[in-house]
Amino acid sequence: MMGHDVVKKSPALHHCKFEVPEIIFGRGLLSQIGSCARRLGGNKVFLVSDQGLFNAGWVDQAMHSLLEAGLNFVYFDQITPNPKDHEVEAGAKEYIRQGADVIVGLGGGSAMDAAKGVAILVSNGGSIRDFEGSDKISRPLPPLVLCPTTCGTGSDVSQFAVINDSRRHCKMTIMSRCVAPDISLTDPDTLATLPEEYVCTTATDALSHALEAFFSVASSTLTDVNAIRALSLLANGLVRAVREQRPEDLESMARASLHAGMAFSNSLLGIVHALAHPIGGYYDINHGSVNAVLLPEVVRFDLPVVTEKLPELAWTLGVHRDLNGREAAEVVEEKIEAMLDAAGAPRTLRSLGVKREDLPQLARKALSDVCILTSPREANETDLLRILERAF
Ligand SMILES: [Fe+2]
Protein backbone atom coordinates (compact mmCIF):
# COMPACT_ATOMS: atom_id res chain seq x y z
CA MET A 1 0.00 0.00 0.00
CA MET A 2 1.03 3.58 -0.48
CA GLY A 3 2.77 4.83 2.64
CA HIS A 4 0.54 6.72 5.05
CA ASP A 5 3.32 9.32 5.16
CA VAL A 6 2.30 10.49 1.73
CA VAL A 7 -1.14 11.43 2.95
CA LYS A 8 0.27 13.20 6.01
CA LYS A 9 2.69 15.17 3.85
CA SER A 10 0.03 16.41 1.42
CA PRO A 11 -0.28 20.19 1.48
CA ALA A 12 -2.81 21.62 3.87
CA LEU A 13 -5.82 23.58 2.71
CA HIS A 14 -4.68 27.02 3.84
CA HIS A 15 -5.89 30.16 2.09
CA CYS A 16 -6.72 28.53 -1.21
CA LYS A 17 -9.32 29.39 -3.79
CA PHE A 18 -10.53 26.88 -6.30
CA GLU A 19 -12.54 28.12 -9.23
CA VAL A 20 -14.09 26.04 -11.99
CA PRO A 21 -16.84 26.71 -14.52
CA GLU A 22 -20.00 24.65 -14.72
CA ILE A 23 -18.78 21.39 -16.25
CA ILE A 24 -20.74 19.14 -18.61
CA PHE A 25 -18.94 15.99 -19.78
CA GLY A 26 -20.21 13.06 -21.78
CA ARG A 27 -20.34 11.39 -25.15
CA GLY A 28 -22.95 12.85 -27.48
CA LEU A 29 -23.43 16.01 -25.42
CA LEU A 30 -22.32 18.43 -28.13
CA SER A 31 -26.06 18.45 -28.89
CA GLN A 32 -26.50 20.55 -25.71
CA ILE A 33 -24.40 23.43 -26.96
CA GLY A 34 -27.51 25.38 -27.99
CA SER A 35 -29.33 24.99 -24.69
CA CYS A 36 -26.14 26.01 -22.84
CA ALA A 37 -25.85 29.23 -24.85
CA ARG A 38 -29.54 29.98 -24.49
CA ARG A 39 -29.66 29.63 -20.73
CA LEU A 40 -26.76 32.07 -20.42
CA GLY A 41 -29.12 34.65 -21.88
CA GLY A 42 -27.84 34.75 -25.45
CA ASN A 43 -29.82 35.60 -28.56
CA LYS A 44 -27.05 35.80 -31.15
CA VAL A 45 -24.10 33.46 -30.74
CA PHE A 46 -20.58 34.25 -31.96
CA LEU A 47 -19.35 30.72 -32.81
CA VAL A 48 -15.54 30.42 -33.02
CA SER A 49 -14.09 27.24 -34.55
CA ASP A 50 -11.73 26.17 -37.33
CA GLN A 51 -11.63 24.52 -40.72
CA GLY A 52 -10.62 21.10 -39.37
CA LEU A 53 -13.65 20.93 -37.07
CA PHE A 54 -15.85 22.19 -39.91
CA ASN A 55 -14.58 19.48 -42.28
CA ALA A 56 -15.12 16.83 -39.60
CA GLY A 57 -18.79 17.82 -39.32
CA TRP A 58 -18.72 19.06 -35.69
CA VAL A 59 -19.37 22.70 -36.60
CA ASP A 60 -22.52 21.61 -38.45
CA GLN A 61 -23.69 19.71 -35.38
CA ALA A 62 -23.05 22.76 -33.19
CA MET A 63 -24.94 25.03 -35.62
CA HIS A 64 -27.86 22.60 -35.70
CA SER A 65 -28.02 22.61 -31.90
CA LEU A 66 -27.95 26.44 -31.80
CA LEU A 67 -30.79 26.66 -34.34
CA GLU A 68 -32.82 24.07 -32.41
CA ALA A 69 -32.43 26.23 -29.31
CA GLY A 70 -33.91 29.14 -31.26
CA LEU A 71 -30.64 31.10 -31.48
CA ASN A 72 -29.11 33.05 -34.32
CA PHE A 73 -25.40 32.76 -34.84
CA VAL A 74 -22.38 34.23 -36.62
CA TYR A 75 -19.62 31.81 -37.58
CA PHE A 76 -16.01 32.96 -37.25
CA ASP A 77 -13.10 30.75 -38.32
CA GLN A 78 -10.42 33.28 -39.26
CA ILE A 79 -7.93 31.88 -36.76
CA THR A 80 -4.69 29.94 -37.07
CA PRO A 81 -2.84 27.62 -34.67
CA ASN A 82 -1.21 29.74 -31.93
CA PRO A 83 -3.91 32.42 -32.48
CA LYS A 84 -2.59 35.88 -33.27
CA ASP A 85 -3.45 39.30 -31.83
CA HIS A 86 -4.81 40.59 -35.17
CA GLU A 87 -7.09 37.55 -35.55
CA VAL A 88 -8.61 38.15 -32.13
CA GLU A 89 -8.99 41.85 -32.88
CA ALA A 90 -10.73 41.08 -36.19
CA GLY A 91 -13.03 38.67 -34.34
CA ALA A 92 -13.96 41.34 -31.80
CA LYS A 93 -14.83 43.81 -34.57
CA GLU A 94 -17.02 41.20 -36.22
CA TYR A 95 -18.76 40.34 -32.92
CA ILE A 96 -19.62 44.02 -32.39
CA ARG A 97 -20.64 44.60 -36.02
CA GLN A 98 -22.99 41.62 -35.90
CA GLY A 99 -24.49 42.50 -32.51
CA ALA A 100 -23.65 39.12 -30.98
CA ASP A 101 -24.21 38.65 -27.23
CA VAL A 102 -22.75 35.24 -26.29
CA ILE A 103 -19.56 33.44 -27.40
CA VAL A 104 -19.11 29.73 -28.07
CA GLY A 105 -15.62 28.34 -28.75
CA LEU A 106 -15.42 24.87 -30.29
CA GLY A 107 -12.02 23.32 -30.93
CA GLY A 108 -8.55 22.96 -29.47
CA GLY A 109 -6.65 25.54 -27.47
CA SER A 110 -6.38 27.84 -30.48
CA ALA A 111 -10.14 28.18 -31.05
CA MET A 112 -10.92 28.42 -27.34
CA ASP A 113 -8.17 30.96 -26.59
CA ALA A 114 -9.26 33.00 -29.62
CA ALA A 115 -12.83 32.95 -28.26
CA LYS A 116 -11.49 34.19 -24.92
CA GLY A 117 -9.49 36.92 -26.64
CA VAL A 118 -12.58 38.12 -28.52
CA ALA A 119 -14.55 38.08 -25.24
CA ILE A 120 -11.88 40.20 -23.51
CA LEU A 121 -11.84 42.83 -26.26
CA VAL A 122 -15.59 43.21 -26.80
CA SER A 123 -16.15 44.07 -23.15
CA ASN A 124 -12.89 45.90 -22.33
CA GLY A 125 -11.83 47.53 -25.61
CA GLY A 126 -8.21 48.36 -26.37
CA SER A 127 -5.62 46.00 -27.78
CA ILE A 128 -5.19 42.39 -26.61
CA ARG A 129 -1.60 43.32 -25.63
CA ASP A 130 -3.04 45.53 -22.86
CA PHE A 131 -4.15 42.44 -20.98
CA GLU A 132 -0.91 40.44 -20.89
CA GLY A 133 0.02 39.30 -17.39
CA SER A 134 -2.04 38.79 -14.27
CA ASP A 135 -5.42 40.43 -13.50
CA LYS A 136 -5.42 43.20 -16.10
CA ILE A 137 -9.07 42.73 -17.10
CA SER A 138 -11.46 45.14 -15.38
CA ARG A 139 -14.85 44.50 -17.04
CA PRO A 140 -16.73 41.19 -17.01
CA LEU A 141 -16.79 39.21 -20.24
CA PRO A 142 -19.88 38.23 -22.24
CA PRO A 143 -21.30 34.75 -21.54
CA LEU A 144 -18.83 32.12 -22.74
CA VAL A 145 -19.25 28.40 -23.51
CA LEU A 146 -16.11 26.43 -24.43
CA CYS A 147 -16.11 22.96 -25.98
CA PRO A 148 -12.70 21.25 -26.18
CA THR A 149 -12.06 18.80 -29.03
CA THR A 150 -8.50 17.69 -28.19
CA CYS A 151 -6.89 15.68 -25.38
CA GLY A 152 -5.11 18.47 -23.66
CA THR A 153 -5.43 22.22 -23.58
CA GLY A 154 -7.55 22.70 -20.48
CA SER A 155 -8.51 26.13 -21.79
CA ASP A 156 -12.18 25.18 -21.31
CA VAL A 157 -11.78 25.33 -17.52
CA SER A 158 -8.77 27.60 -17.10
CA GLN A 159 -8.17 31.17 -16.04
CA PHE A 160 -5.59 31.51 -18.85
CA ALA A 161 -5.70 32.70 -22.44
CA VAL A 162 -2.58 32.56 -24.61
CA ILE A 163 -2.43 34.82 -27.66
CA ASN A 164 0.51 35.37 -29.98
CA ASP A 165 1.90 38.91 -30.22
CA SER A 166 2.66 39.04 -33.95
CA ARG A 167 5.04 42.00 -33.61
CA ARG A 168 7.23 40.51 -30.86
CA HIS A 169 6.71 36.92 -32.12
CA CYS A 170 5.97 35.87 -28.57
CA LYS A 171 2.99 34.31 -26.83
CA MET A 172 1.27 36.53 -24.30
CA THR A 173 -0.13 34.80 -21.24
CA ILE A 174 -3.29 36.47 -19.99
CA MET A 175 -4.31 35.31 -16.55
CA SER A 176 -7.56 36.38 -14.91
CA ARG A 177 -10.57 34.80 -13.23
CA CYS A 178 -12.63 36.60 -15.87
CA VAL A 179 -11.39 34.34 -18.68
CA ALA A 180 -12.66 31.09 -17.16
CA PRO A 181 -15.84 30.38 -19.17
CA ASP A 182 -19.34 30.04 -17.74
CA ILE A 183 -19.70 26.51 -19.10
CA SER A 184 -17.15 23.87 -20.14
CA LEU A 185 -18.84 21.28 -22.37
CA THR A 186 -16.79 18.22 -23.37
CA ASP A 187 -18.12 15.67 -25.82
CA PRO A 188 -15.38 13.00 -26.07
CA ASP A 189 -16.93 11.74 -29.33
CA THR A 190 -15.32 14.74 -31.05
CA LEU A 191 -11.90 13.14 -30.42
CA ALA A 192 -12.73 10.44 -33.00
CA THR A 193 -11.74 12.84 -35.79
CA LEU A 194 -8.67 14.33 -34.09
CA PRO A 195 -5.67 13.71 -36.38
CA GLU A 196 -3.42 10.99 -34.93
CA GLU A 197 -0.44 13.24 -34.23
CA TYR A 198 -2.61 15.60 -32.17
CA VAL A 199 -3.66 12.80 -29.81
CA CYS A 200 -0.03 12.56 -28.74
CA THR A 201 0.80 16.27 -28.66
CA THR A 202 -2.34 17.35 -26.83
CA ALA A 203 -2.21 14.48 -24.32
CA THR A 204 1.42 15.36 -23.55
CA ASP A 205 0.25 18.95 -22.98
CA ALA A 206 -2.20 17.56 -20.40
CA LEU A 207 0.69 15.57 -18.88
CA SER A 208 2.71 18.79 -18.54
CA HIS A 209 -0.28 20.59 -17.00
CA ALA A 210 -0.80 17.86 -14.43
CA LEU A 211 2.88 17.60 -13.45
CA GLU A 212 3.46 21.34 -13.31
CA ALA A 213 0.27 21.82 -11.29
CA PHE A 214 1.34 19.07 -8.87
CA PHE A 215 4.80 20.61 -8.36
CA SER A 216 3.60 24.22 -8.29
CA VAL A 217 4.25 26.31 -5.19
CA ALA A 218 0.56 27.30 -5.36
CA SER A 219 -0.71 23.71 -5.30
CA SER A 220 -3.24 22.68 -2.65
CA THR A 221 -5.14 19.53 -1.73
CA LEU A 222 -7.86 20.64 -4.16
CA THR A 223 -5.46 20.98 -7.09
CA ASP A 224 -3.44 17.90 -6.13
CA VAL A 225 -6.46 15.61 -6.17
CA ASN A 226 -7.16 16.70 -9.74
CA ALA A 227 -3.52 16.57 -10.84
CA ILE A 228 -3.14 13.06 -9.43
CA ARG A 229 -6.35 11.88 -11.11
CA ALA A 230 -5.12 13.27 -14.43
CA LEU A 231 -1.70 11.64 -14.00
CA SER A 232 -3.29 8.30 -13.17
CA LEU A 233 -5.46 8.43 -16.31
CA LEU A 234 -2.47 9.46 -18.43
CA ALA A 235 -0.16 6.80 -16.98
CA ASN A 236 -2.77 4.13 -17.70
CA GLY A 237 -4.05 5.31 -21.05
CA LEU A 238 -1.87 7.81 -22.90
CA VAL A 239 0.22 5.35 -24.87
CA ARG A 240 -2.78 3.17 -25.76
CA ALA A 241 -4.82 6.22 -26.79
CA VAL A 242 -2.03 7.31 -29.15
CA ARG A 243 -1.49 3.83 -30.62
CA GLU A 244 -5.05 2.50 -30.85
CA GLN A 245 -7.36 5.50 -30.52
CA ARG A 246 -10.24 3.44 -29.16
CA PRO A 247 -13.20 5.59 -28.07
CA GLU A 248 -12.85 4.58 -24.41
CA ASP A 249 -9.15 5.52 -24.37
CA LEU A 250 -9.83 8.86 -26.01
CA GLU A 251 -12.58 9.51 -23.47
CA SER A 252 -10.14 8.87 -20.64
CA MET A 253 -7.72 11.37 -22.26
CA ALA A 254 -10.52 13.95 -22.39
CA ARG A 255 -11.15 13.28 -18.71
CA ALA A 256 -7.42 13.61 -17.95
CA SER A 257 -7.37 16.94 -19.78
CA LEU A 258 -10.30 18.17 -17.72
CA HIS A 259 -8.72 17.16 -14.38
CA ALA A 260 -5.34 18.58 -15.38
CA GLY A 261 -7.08 21.79 -16.47
CA MET A 262 -8.87 22.19 -13.14
CA ALA A 263 -5.55 21.62 -11.37
CA PHE A 264 -3.38 24.03 -13.33
CA SER A 265 -6.01 26.74 -13.60
CA ASN A 266 -5.87 27.02 -9.82
CA SER A 267 -2.27 26.14 -8.98
CA LEU A 268 -0.78 27.65 -12.16
CA LEU A 269 2.17 26.16 -14.00
CA GLY A 270 5.97 26.29 -14.11
CA ILE A 271 9.10 26.34 -16.24
CA VAL A 272 7.83 24.02 -19.00
CA HIS A 273 5.15 26.52 -19.93
CA ALA A 274 7.29 29.58 -19.20
CA LEU A 275 9.74 28.28 -21.83
CA ALA A 276 7.14 26.81 -24.19
CA HIS A 277 5.37 30.15 -24.64
CA PRO A 278 8.32 32.08 -26.13
CA ILE A 279 9.39 29.05 -28.19
CA GLY A 280 5.89 28.39 -29.57
CA GLY A 281 5.37 32.09 -30.25
CA TYR A 282 8.71 32.68 -31.95
CA TYR A 283 8.64 29.68 -34.29
CA ASP A 284 4.84 29.23 -34.46
CA ILE A 285 5.18 25.54 -33.57
CA ASN A 286 2.85 23.11 -31.83
CA HIS A 287 2.54 23.75 -28.09
CA GLY A 288 2.27 20.12 -26.99
CA SER A 289 5.37 19.11 -28.98
CA VAL A 290 7.46 21.79 -27.27
CA ASN A 291 6.17 20.70 -23.86
CA ALA A 292 6.97 17.06 -24.54
CA VAL A 293 10.58 17.98 -25.29
CA LEU A 294 11.01 20.26 -22.28
CA LEU A 295 9.13 18.21 -19.70
CA PRO A 296 11.81 15.62 -18.77
CA GLU A 297 14.49 18.31 -18.39
CA VAL A 298 12.29 20.53 -16.24
CA VAL A 299 11.19 17.60 -14.08
CA ARG A 300 14.88 16.73 -13.59
CA PHE A 301 15.53 20.33 -12.54
CA ASP A 302 12.55 20.35 -10.14
CA LEU A 303 13.09 16.93 -8.51
CA PRO A 304 15.45 18.06 -5.72
CA VAL A 305 12.86 20.48 -4.31
CA VAL A 306 9.71 18.36 -4.60
CA THR A 307 10.93 15.26 -2.77
CA GLU A 308 7.96 15.10 -0.38
CA LYS A 309 5.56 14.69 -3.30
CA LEU A 310 7.52 12.04 -5.18
CA PRO A 311 6.32 8.85 -3.43
CA GLU A 312 2.68 9.69 -4.20
CA LEU A 313 3.65 10.56 -7.77
CA ALA A 314 5.63 7.33 -8.24
CA TRP A 315 2.65 5.38 -6.91
CA THR A 316 0.33 7.16 -9.34
CA LEU A 317 2.69 6.38 -12.20
CA GLY A 318 2.32 2.68 -11.39
CA VAL A 319 5.18 1.76 -9.04
CA HIS A 320 3.35 0.25 -6.07
CA ARG A 321 6.06 -0.28 -3.47
CA ASP A 322 7.66 1.81 -0.75
CA LEU A 323 10.45 3.95 -2.15
CA ASN A 324 12.95 6.24 -0.53
CA GLY A 325 13.40 9.74 -1.91
CA ARG A 326 16.21 8.88 -4.32
CA GLU A 327 14.39 5.81 -5.66
CA ALA A 328 11.17 7.77 -6.10
CA ALA A 329 13.03 10.46 -8.06
CA GLU A 330 14.56 7.82 -10.34
CA VAL A 331 11.18 6.17 -10.88
CA VAL A 332 9.49 9.47 -11.76
CA GLU A 333 12.23 10.36 -14.26
CA GLU A 334 12.15 6.92 -15.86
CA LYS A 335 8.36 6.70 -16.06
CA ILE A 336 7.97 10.08 -17.73
CA GLU A 337 10.74 9.38 -20.24
CA ALA A 338 9.25 5.94 -21.00
CA MET A 339 5.74 7.35 -21.48
CA LEU A 340 6.94 10.02 -23.90
CA ASP A 341 9.09 7.52 -25.83
CA ALA A 342 6.31 4.95 -26.10
CA ALA A 343 3.88 7.62 -27.30
CA GLY A 344 6.33 8.68 -30.01
CA ALA A 345 6.53 12.26 -28.73
CA PRO A 346 9.26 14.50 -30.18
CA ARG A 347 12.32 14.52 -27.96
CA THR A 348 14.60 17.36 -29.12
CA LEU A 349 14.09 21.06 -29.74
CA ARG A 350 16.31 20.70 -32.81
CA SER A 351 13.79 18.31 -34.38
CA LEU A 352 11.09 20.98 -34.00
CA GLY A 353 13.11 23.55 -35.92
CA VAL A 354 14.50 25.52 -32.96
CA LYS A 355 17.90 27.08 -33.67
CA ARG A 356 20.72 26.86 -31.17
CA GLU A 357 21.68 30.53 -31.57
CA ASP A 358 18.18 31.55 -30.43
CA LEU A 359 18.35 29.74 -27.09
CA PRO A 360 19.75 32.69 -25.02
CA GLN A 361 16.97 35.07 -26.07
CA LEU A 362 14.32 32.37 -25.48
CA ALA A 363 15.65 31.83 -21.95
CA ARG A 364 15.56 35.59 -21.35
CA LYS A 365 11.96 35.89 -22.59
CA ALA A 366 10.84 33.00 -20.36
CA LEU A 367 11.94 34.96 -17.29
CA SER A 368 9.07 37.39 -17.82
CA ASP A 369 6.37 34.77 -18.47
CA VAL A 370 3.84 34.63 -15.65
CA CYS A 371 4.13 30.81 -15.46
CA ILE A 372 7.60 31.02 -13.97
CA LEU A 373 6.22 32.57 -10.76
CA THR A 374 4.90 29.25 -9.47
CA SER A 375 7.88 27.09 -10.38
CA PRO A 376 8.83 25.01 -7.32
CA ARG A 377 12.49 25.80 -7.92
CA GLU A 378 13.65 29.31 -8.61
CA ALA A 379 15.44 29.58 -11.93
CA ASN A 380 17.66 32.33 -13.31
CA GLU A 381 18.55 32.92 -16.94
CA THR A 382 21.53 30.56 -16.75
CA ASP A 383 19.36 27.76 -15.35
CA LEU A 384 16.80 28.24 -18.11
CA LEU A 385 19.48 28.28 -20.79
CA ARG A 386 20.95 25.07 -19.39
CA ILE A 387 17.50 23.39 -19.57
CA LEU A 388 17.13 24.52 -23.18
CA GLU A 389 20.60 23.28 -24.11
CA ARG A 390 19.92 19.88 -22.57
CA ALA A 391 16.63 19.67 -24.47
CA PHE A 392 18.21 20.85 -27.72
FE1 LIG B 1 -0.24 23.83 -22.08
* Cα–ligand 1 centroid distance for 323 (angstroms): 30
Distance 97 CA to ligand 1 centre (A): 32
The ranges of the chain annotated as CATH 3.40.50.1970 are 22-190
**Mean pLDDT value of segment 349-374:** 96
SS3 call for 152: coil
- How many angstroms does the Cα of residue 153 sit away from the middle of ligand 1? 6
pLDDT of residue 346: 95
Cα(26)–Cα(153) distance, integer angstroms:
17
Question: How many angstroms is it from 336 CA to the middle of ligand 1?
Answer: 17
Cα of 206 vs centre of ligand 1, distance in Å, is 7
Measured N-to-C along each axis, helices 287-302 and 381-391 cross at an angle, to the nearest 10 degrees, of: 120
What is the mean pLDDT of the segment spanning 321-349?
Answer: 94
CA 207 to ligand 1 centroid distance, Å: 9
* Ligand 1 centroid to residue 374 C-alpha, Å: 15
- State the distance from the centre of ligand 1 to the C-alpha of 303, rounded, in angstroms: 20
In this prediction, residue 14 carries a pLDDT of 58
Least confident of 2-6, 195-199, 242-246, 378-382: 2-6
Q: Whole-model pTM?
A: 0.94
The one-character DSSP state at 32 is: G
Give the pLDDT confidence score for residue 196 in this predicted structure: 85
- Distance from residue 361's CA to the centre of ligand 1 (Å): 21
CATH topology of domain 195-391: Dehydroquinate synthase-like, alpha domain (1.20.1090)
- 40 alpha carbon to ligand 1 midpoint, in Å? 28
Q: Which fold has domain 22-190?
A: Rossmann fold (3.40.50)
Percent of the chain having pLDDT more than 70?
96
Ion ligand 1: residues, Cβ under 5 Å: 205
Question: For residues 358 and 366, is the Cβ–Cβ distance under 8 A?
Answer: no
The dihedral region occupied by 224, where left means phi > 0, alpha psi between -120 and 50, and beta the remainder, is alpha
pLDDT at 17: 81
Kindly report the number of other CB atoms within 10 A of residue 342's CB atom: 13
Farthest-apart Cα atoms in the chain, separation = 62
Q: Please determine, for residue 8, whether its predicted confidence score (pLDDT) is greater than 70.
A: no
Please determine, for residue 244, whether its predicted confidence score (pLDDT) is greater than 90.
yes
Ranges for all domains in the chain classified under CATH 1.20.1090.10: 195-391
pLDDT band at 1 (very low <50, low <70, confident <90, very high): very low
pLDDT given at position 325: 86
- In this predicted model, what pLDDT tens digit does every residue of 83-134 receive, in sequence order? 999 999 999 999 999 999 999 999 999 999 999 999 999 999 999 999 999 9
